[in-house]
Amino acid sequence: MKQKKFLTIYNELKSNILTQDLNYGNQLPSEYDLVSTYDASRETVRKALHMLEQDGMIQKIRGKGSVVIYQEITEFPFSELISFKEVKEELDLKHETNVILNEIVEAQAFPEVQRELEVSDNEKLVHIQRTRSIHNKVKIFDEDFFLKSVVEAITKGIAQDSIYAYLENKLKLDISYSSKAITFESFSSLDYEIFGNHLTPFTATVRSTVFLKDTTCFQYNISKHLATEFKFKEFSRRR
């Protein structure tokens, strides 16, 4: 049986979005152009666009028409203490890591971090910022603080590859557990610099304090994900 025309339009546009022929933020052809391309009525085109909107693929914006808002989502293992490199290998991710800052700072310059690590004003910290990108578009912004008394220094090469592999295999640190919290926050000025302009300028921000087996709190991590691309799952059982 011949497929109804609105389904043909819907399926072809959806396929173009999923294969990234139409990327996040791209504008779809106008209703007038779609009517012409598919030799369809305006009502048929609008039905197809409505289905795409219901699927979370597009958003109709006054003055701009239909804009692609779909982005492929990666499920990160929120409950596990795992390095990004391990996640990347496990899930076959294509992200590229770029180190944008590697410095030694005093804890008093970062009150939130000082409070979480419970250290004195003059405590030295290794401060590292890294981006995780796909096709030169930043998807994740990671910021790490390590006690310099525990981790003397981290080279750019180590930070670009895997800090945890270095800490465990070279420094023989026994990394044991962490506590995490997620908040959803509007872009800061730094986030705009890192991520650029987005239709939904919000991050899902995961803040983690990480402990060694002897209960030393030696790391504080702030991992910012584009809110539209962040998803986590947990298994729960009623007691």
Residues 19 and 93 in one domain: no
- 18 and 96 in a common domain: no
Taken as a whole, the chain contains a residue count of 239
pLDDT at 237: 41
- 180 and 91 in a single domain? The answer is yes
Shared domain for 107 and 16, answered yes or no, is no
CATH number for position 210: 3.40.1410.10
Question: Per the domain annotation, does 214 fall within a domain?
Answer: yes
| pLDDT tens digit sequence for 72-105 | 655 555 555 555 565 555 555 567 899 999 999 9
Looking at the structure, tell me whether residues 42 and 104 fall in a common domain.
no
What residues contact residue 148 under an 8 Å CB cut-off, 6+ apart?
104, 123, 124, 125, 126
CA distance readout (Å), 79 to 37, 173, 178, 179, 239? 48, 21, 9, 9, 19
Domain count, the chain: 2
Q: Judge whether residue 169 has pLDDT over 70.
A: yes
Q: Report the CATH number that the domain containing residue 21 is assigned in CATH.
A: 1.10.10.10
Q: Do both 93 and 136 map to the same domain?
A: yes
Residues 160 and 102 in one domain: yes
Which pTM was predicted? Answer: 0.66
43 shares its domain with 161: no
Range(s) of the domain holding residue 54: 3-66
